[in-house]
Structure 1
Amino acid sequence: MKKLESREDIEHLVNSFYTKVIKDETISFFFNDVAKVDWNKHLPKMYSFWESILFGQMSYKGNPMAVHFPINEMQAMEKRHFDQWLELWKQTIEENFVGKNADMAIYKSENIAKLMAYKMEMARKL
């Protein structure tokens, strides 16, 4: 296993993760049917997002929360969906990487999943 330490590692992680996501019975429909993700645009954004989170590169420009609210309005994004996202993310990291940054990627993703699930639920109650 190798350490998670470069943009190339992040690209490998993100690509491997989304290979699982697009086949997943619980969450794939958000990407394929609801958001109709353009993968040529989405993947580079995710590389930059995680590069910013893990390496402080500040290459990501955007507001991930704002992007998810319209999707949540079309189809409720529930805690179970974020739990599945998190499970796939952790699996992908554990299959490919070890070390401090791999641990940090899991830790940060847990916080992101909790916050996103909470905010999406609160938005549905308004």
Structure 2
Amino acid sequence: MTRPIPEPSPDLYTEEEISQLVHEFYAKARKDAALGPIFEEHVIDWDAHFDQMIDFWSAQLRGTSRFRGAPMPKHAALPDLNAALFRRWLELFRETTQELGNMQLKQHADTVAEFIAGRLWMGYQMSNVPEQEPVGLNTVEV
């Protein structure tokens, strides 16, 4: 069961915290055996990616309106994704938010991340295997 997503709050998190979250998360993801090769193959300009992700998370957590993008088509176009990769992404994300030490940020960001991962996974399945009924991230793969 997905938790309701809290409203963005510019008073609870700073831009510096958002930037730290993005940079520290991607430092982990780039080194990860499962996720690292995917990111390294598909992210051409890391500085631009960081800027876009900071804008995205700032919009989600602080309510800013800088983010411009369409994540679904980009993720749907990636080859060979599976639920385990999305779960690993969430695991690293949760580790990162825990390490930041702001528990309000952790709760809010983790809730948003769970929602986004679930939506991207559903969209990925509908785009790449439309003949199959999509399954959630918490469904056990056999």
Q: Same fold (TM over 0.5)?
A: yes
Give the Cα–Cα distance (whole angstroms) in 2 for the partners of residues 51 and 110 of structure 1.
16
Give the Cα–Cα distance (whole angstroms) in 2 for the partners of residues 12 and 45 of structure 1.
14
Q: TM-score, normalised by structure 1?
A: 0.88
Find the structure with the greater CA-based Rg: 2
Please give the root-mean-square deviation of Cα atoms over the aligned residues, in Å.
Answer: 1.3
Give the Cα–Cα distance (whole angstroms) in 2 for the partners of residues 64 and 117 of structure 1.
12
Give the Cα–Cα distance (whole angstroms) in 2 for the partners of residues 9 and 98 of structure 1.
9
Give the Cα–Cα distance (whole angstroms) in 2 for the partners of residues 58 and 37 of structure 1.
24
Identical positions, percent: 29
Q: Secondary structure at the match of 1:20?
A: helix
**CA shift for structure 1 position 101:** 2.8
User: Structure 2, unaligned stretches of length 5 or more?
Assistant: 1-11, 131-142
Equivalences, count = 119
Give the Cα–Cα distance (whole angstroms) in 2 for the partners of residues 76 and 41 of structure 1.
24
Q: TM-score, normalised by structure 2?
A: 0.79
Structure with bigger helix share is 1
**CA shift for structure 1 position 102:** 2.2
User: Structure 1, unaligned stretches of length 5 or more?
Assistant: none
Q: 2:47 aligns with which of 40, 44, 49?
A: 40
- Is 1:61 aligned with 2:68? yes
> Higher relative contact order at CA 8 Å, sep ≥6: structure 1 or structure 2?
1
Give the Cα–Cα distance (whole angstroms) in 2 for the partners of residues 101 and 36 of structure 1.
26
**CA shift for structure 1 position 37:** 3.2
**CA shift for structure 1 position 70:** 2.0
Corresponding residue for residue 87 of structure 1: 91
- Is 1:9 aligned with 2:8? no
Matched to 1:23, the amino acid is K
Give the Cα–Cα distance (whole angstroms) in 1 for the partners of residues 23 and 64 of structure 2.
19
Corresponding residue for residue 124 of structure 2: 120
